[in-house]
Every structure is written in structure tokens, then in C-alpha cells.
């Protein structure tokens, strides 16, 4: 009996321990992948991917993206349309071919000025819940990524303070991708515009059901042995 209980307990805690690792969840709108440096000319091949980590449809008309540079006001882009829960949306281009991962654009637009290609001086891209026309050097983003070696431009993050560098500089032809959790941002050698591994909702319900089922099993075994 003790052996059975021990095995059940181990199974339960192992299961609970595994679930949060597998679920790379986010609970807001995020920048999920960025392709800023193609092999060769970047203009008209760059793209930015968003992921809606909330449980509701988001109207993007109040959201914008800023890129820099010295600060996020160097280039600002107004978003529009809607993004469904757990949906990936790609905008940029408008050109799509194997050299930039064959993106299908929800918003086809020439990102202008082109996205910074980083290097020793890190650059940044930020997501704002503001109209693009209102973005200034001091507007605090909802979400951001700082990529490169050193944030010597003092780009800020969602706290309003100077942010830490999130990821290195992706080689030409590769992207930077947000995986959430402990993985954070990575350099992705195989850009995957329009898809990814993020999910919207944590799995407390699944953990609860699994846990209650196992505890129910323990209770059942006890009852059988008493009889």
C-alpha cells in the first residue's frame, strides 16, 4: 500500500512539475518573432509577428509598434484590424519568398525606415497600447525586445526603466523569436512566421483534474483495503 501511494504521489508531482515547463504561456499581446536582417537587401522583406496571449479578440487600432535606434520613436507603425485569441499575425514585407521565411501577411506594408540590424550597439522594438502618432522617446511600451550586444542607447522596457538586452544579434537570414518562460528570446535559424509554440491560457484546470483524479484513486484504494 505504501508503495502504491508513493508511486501515485510521485506521478502526481512529476505531472504537475512537467505541465508549467511545457506551457509557454503569455497573457497579453506580445511581439513573438522579428525578421530584421535578410541575406542581401532587407527593404520590403522585413516582418514582425505578434501573438495574442489573451482570451479575447484584440482591436489593434489602438496599438502601434516603435523601433530604434536611439529610442522607439525612430520609426513608428500604426497597427489595425483585429487579432483573435492565440492567433499569430505577421505584418511587414510586402515581399514574401524563401529568403524571408515565406510569410503570409495579415498586414502587408513596407516597414519604413527599415528595422535596425543591431550589432555592438543593441537596438529595440516595442509594442505600445498607444496610437503611433503619439509615441515619443519617453512613451513606455507594453512589451519590448532589445537585441544586440550592449544597450548603450538606454532603450527602456515595460517598466519604464532602461532595459536589459534580451537576445543577441541574429545573423542574416535568421530571426529572433519569443518563447516565453525561462527560454525568453532566442535566435531562430529557421524563421516560422505565422506560427510558434506560445499558448494563451495556463493549465490549472488540467493540473487540477489530474490531481483530483489521482487523489480520488488514492481514496478508492484506501477504501478497498479497509473492506
CA separation for the pair 2, 10 (Å, rounded): 12
Measured between its terminal Cα atoms, the distance across the chain in Å is 14
Write the DSSP symbol of residue 192: -
192 near Ca ion, rule: CB under 5 A: yes
Smallest separation (angstroms) from Ca ion to the CB of 208: 30
Which of 58, 89, 115, 165 contacts Ca ion by CB under 5 A? 115
Which of 36, 45, 128, 143 contacts Ca ion by CB under 5 A? 36
Which of 15, 19, 28, 42 contacts Ca ion by CB under 5 A? 42
Smallest separation (angstroms) from Ca ion to the CB of 50: 10
Please report, as residue ranges, which positions from 118 to 157 form the binding site for Ca ion (by CB under 5 A). none
CA separation for the pair 218, 161 (Å, rounded): 51
* 3-state SS, residue 33: strand
Smallest separation (angstroms) from Ca ion to the CB of 73: 17
Is the Cβ of residue 12 or residue 38 nearer to Ca ion in the bound state? 38
43 near Ca ion, rule: CB under 5 A: yes
Is the Cβ of residue 15 or residue 197 nearer to Ca ion in the bound state? 197
65 near Ca ion, rule: CB under 5 A: no
Residues 6+ apart with CB under 8 A from 186: 167, 176, 177, 179
Smallest separation (angstroms) from Ca ion to the CB of 76: 14
CA separation for the pair 131, 58 (Å, rounded): 15
Cβ contact 86:199 at 8 Å? yes
CA separation for the pair 86, 201 (Å, rounded): 9
Residues lying near Ca ion in the complex (CB under 5 A): 33, 36-38, 42-43, 49, 110-112, 114-115, 117, 172, 192, 196
Amino acid at each position: 500500500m505504501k508503495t502504491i501511494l508513493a508511486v501515485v504521489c510521485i506521478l502526481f508531482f512529476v505531472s504537475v512539475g512537467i505541465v508549467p515547463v511545457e506551457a509557454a504561456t503569455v497573457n497579453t499581446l506580445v511581439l513573438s518573432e522579428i525578421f530584421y536582417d535578410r541575406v542581401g537587401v532587407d527593404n520590403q522583406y522585413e516582418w514582425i509577428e505578434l501573438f495574442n496571449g489573451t482570451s479575447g479578440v484584440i482591436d489593434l487600432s489602438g496599438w502601434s509598434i516603435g523601433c530604434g535606434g536611439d529610442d522607439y520613436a525612430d520609426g513608428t507603425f500604426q497597427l489595425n484590424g483585429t487579432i483573435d485569441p492565440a492567433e499569430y499575425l505577421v505584418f511587414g514585407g510586402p515581399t514574401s519568398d524563401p529568403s524571408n521565411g515565406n510569410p503570409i501577411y495579415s498586414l502587408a506594408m513596407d516597414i519604413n525606415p527599415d528595422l535596425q540590424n543591431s550589432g555592438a550597439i543593441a537596438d529595440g522594438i516595442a509594442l505600445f497600447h498607444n496610437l503611433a502618432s503619439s509615441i515619443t522617446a519617453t512613451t513606455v511600451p507594453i512589451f519590448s525586445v532589445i537585441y544586440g550586444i550592449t544597450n548603450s542607447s538606454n532603450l527602456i522596457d515595460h517598466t519604464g526603466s532602461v532595459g536589459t538586452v534580451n537576445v543577441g544579434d541574429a545573423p542574416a537570414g535568421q530571426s529572433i523569436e519569443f518563447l516565453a518562460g525561462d527560454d525568453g528570446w532566442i535566435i531562430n535559424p529557421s524563421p516560422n512566421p505565422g506560427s510558434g509554440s506560445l499558448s494563451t491560457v495556463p493549465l490549472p484546470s488540467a493540473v487540477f483534474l489530474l490531481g483530483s483524479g489521482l487523489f480520488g484513486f488514492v481514496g478508492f484504494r484506501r477504501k478497498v483495503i479497509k473492506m
